[in-house]
Amino acid sequence: MTAILNYVHNTGVQRSYDYLERIDMQYGYDGIRGTNPLLIPRIMKEAEKRLEVPQTSWKSHLGKGLCFNFETIVKNVKKAHPMILNIPNDGRDYYGSHSITVIGYLEYKVNGKR
């Protein structure tokens, strides 16, 4: 969330983080548990309001179920709409309950297929 606020609004990393942390704590964040991914849109709107910056187009989706596909990522990157991708489990038990900011992509082809 900090990366998106700074990317879209140039609010400064520390300022964005400080606002988000205070808001996030009101939604159950305690420094041990991460942010509930279902609350990210609400937290972001509140941060934009408190920082007095216009709300913009960005997206948040869960890694499974309500997920981005490659075409959705490409479409949003081309529109300069950053996204928060929540990864409940990466299949390796390495990045469980992790979120990443998507502002670009690389496309690889293997045996002629992407």
What are the residue ranges spanned by the domains of the chain?
2-102
Helix axes 2-9, 40-50, angle to 10 degrees: 40
Q: What does the pLDDT look like over 22-78, one tens digit per residue?
A: 999 998 888 777 788 778 888 888 888 888 877 666 666 554 445 667 888 888 888
pTM of the model: 0.65
Alpha-carbon distance of 72 to 35, in angstroms, equals: 24
One-letter amino acid identity for 2? T
